[in-house]
């Protein structure tokens, strides 16, 4: 044991005498810290945006309810904020929150257009993404590991110290093993320390923090072993570095890009604009159709209201909301195809990720942080369920000839309550069903 400590102490002092290693470790600490701080700031802004919109949404809905007295008008002018709050670990892996919308304001109108007319940000900025901890870990840390370990043996051969070191050392394993351990541990601390501090600040669950840390360590061990084995018999450090950088480019960029292109070519789906157009054409065309045509299509999926579809005037709210629902029904097949294709693309990307460790790590960590495409699918399902609850709440006031009392609005569905009560079970159902077409009749 004393010999092990002696070897490690020697290599620690040796590492501290090499300025370029200290510079690399300092850069690792700075970049990792920057990614964590910027991630925490981004998540804080998202949370502040959600809180600000919740207040404005409540005031806007209260004003609409005070201004109008009939249920049809209240439903038309009342907006409802839906949102997907970031998890405690979202700061480390922003994932798809740059691409998929995480907030919507919806009304009891046709839903498909409201979902696919997302509040997307600048497409070029979204494509560029943000420098979060997962990006630093998956894309940048291999480069630093290559710089730390590519010349582990080659530099000693170049300087002429290799044979002397091997001869005087108790064993080659003790010599190189202690040097590898010291450098790896120092690098690991510089990389993960900011993440652990950020996780503590965000009050993340210890189990999730340990899971991310474990995946991070395994990933870094992979690149360390690759770098050491690639250069163990080499005499030219630059040649080793160039070969390892080529492998890094292949695994981190070329394979994911080619995989993405292949998936897009093999999986075809409607565009969000096609869904919106189909739904809007159905809704706009309903004004010129006989009202019986609309009501028959509505009753086909809502037979409980078949005794209340007759109209006594040219315009009634029940007819208006009926053809809004029919518009969704006509776009349902395209919407199902779109969601099925998105699920298929995600599954195929999972197979590609086994050829690309950086891509695989990103998928694992964004799943733990709940910022991947699955989390976006779950949020969309929550929107659909909430919209269904809104319709079920208003229909009894629109179809039967009953008197409406505003006190009934106290029982209006709340998206926040839906997420709190049904979120866990609903998410499990989404994962199990893979976003299948059972949502088409909602």
Give me the residue spans of the domains in the chain: 1-249+352-442
Tokens linked to 282: 């159905």
CA neighbor of 415 nearest in space, from 40, 141, 105: 105
Triad 98, 209, 248: Cα angle to 5°:
60
Those residues whose C-beta lies under 8 Å from the C-beta of residue 373, and which sit 6 or more positions away, are 96, 100, 342, 346
| Structure confidence at residue 426 as a pLDDT band (50, 70, 90) | very low
What whole-number distance in Å separates Cα of residue 234 and Cα of residue 245?
Answer: 15
Q: pLDDT at residue 17 above 60? A: yes
| Structure confidence at residue 122 as a pLDDT band (50, 70, 90) | very low
Chain mean position to CA 108: 27
Strand partners, 81: 105
Q: pLDDT at residue 106 above 50? A: yes
Spatial contact of 7 and 178, defined as CB atoms under 8 Å apart: yes
Q: Is the dihedral of CA 274, 277, 280, 284 positive or negative?
A: negative
Least confident of 223-227, 252-256, 414-418: 414-418
Q: Which residue has the higher pLDDT, 407 or 123?
A: 407
Q: What is the mean pLDDT of the chain?
A: 86
Least confident of 154-163, 294-303, 430-439: 430-439
Q: pLDDT at residue 169 above 70? A: no
Tokens linked to 172: 């080659």
| Structure confidence at residue 156 as a pLDDT band (50, 70, 90) | low
Q: Taking phi first (over 0 means left), then psi (-120 to 50 degrees means alpha), and beta for anything else, what does residue 160 get? A: left
């Amino acid at each position: 044991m004393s010999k092990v400590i002696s070897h490690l102490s020697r290599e620690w002092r040796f590492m501290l005498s090499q300025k370029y290693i200290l510079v690399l470790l300092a850069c690792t600490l700075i970049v990792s810290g920057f990614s964590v701080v910027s991630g925490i700031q981004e998540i804080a802004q998202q949370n502040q945006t959600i809180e600000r919109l919740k207040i404005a949404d409540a005031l806007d809905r209260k004003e609409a309810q005070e201004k109008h007295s009939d249920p049809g008008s209240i439903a038309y002018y009342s907006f409802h904020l839906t949102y997907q709050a970031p998890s405690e670990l979202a700061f480390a892996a922003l994932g798809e929150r740059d691409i998929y919308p995480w907030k919507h304001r919806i009304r009891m109108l046709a839903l498909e257009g409201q979902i696919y007319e997302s509040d997307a940000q600048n497409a070029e900025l979204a494509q560029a993404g943000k420098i979060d901890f997962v990006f630093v870990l998956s894309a940048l840390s291999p480069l630093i590991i290559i710089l730390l370990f590519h010349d582990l043996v080659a530099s000693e051969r170049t300087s002429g110290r290799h044979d002397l070191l091997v001869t005087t050392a108790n064993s080659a394993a003790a010599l190189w093993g202690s040097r590898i351990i010291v450098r790896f541990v120092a690098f690991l601390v510089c990389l993960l320390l900011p993440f652990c501090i950020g996780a503590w600040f965000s009050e993340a669950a210890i189990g999730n923090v340990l899971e991310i840390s474990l995946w991070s360590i395994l990933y870094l061990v992979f690149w360390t072993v690759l770098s050491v084995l690639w250069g163990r018999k080499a005499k030219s450090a630059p040649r080793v570095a160039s070969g390892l950088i080529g492998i890094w480019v292949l695994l981190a960029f070329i394979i994911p890009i080619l995989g993405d292109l292949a998936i897009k070519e093999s999986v075809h789906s409607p565009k969000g604009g096609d869904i919106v157009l189909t739904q809007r054409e159905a809704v706009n065309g309903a004004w010129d159709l006989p009202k019986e045509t609309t009501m028959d299509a509505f009753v086909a999926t809502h037979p409980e209201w078949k005794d209340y579809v007759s109209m006594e005037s040219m315009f009634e709210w029940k007819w208006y909301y009926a053809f809004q629902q029919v518009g969704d029904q006509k776009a349902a097949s395209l919407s199902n195809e779109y969601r099925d294709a998105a699920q298929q693309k995600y599954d195929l990307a999972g197979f590609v990720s086994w050829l690309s460790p950086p891509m695989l790590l990103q998928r694992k960590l964004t799943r733990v942080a709940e910022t991947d495409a699955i989390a976006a699918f779950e949020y969309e399902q929550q929107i659909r369920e909430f919209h269904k609850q809104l319709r079920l709440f208003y229909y009894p006031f629109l179809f039967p000839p009953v008197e409406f009392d505003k006190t009934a609005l106290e029982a209006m569905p709340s998206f926040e309550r839906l997420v709190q009560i049904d979120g866990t079970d609903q998410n499990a159902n989404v994962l199990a069903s893979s976003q299948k077409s059972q949502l088409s009749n909602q």
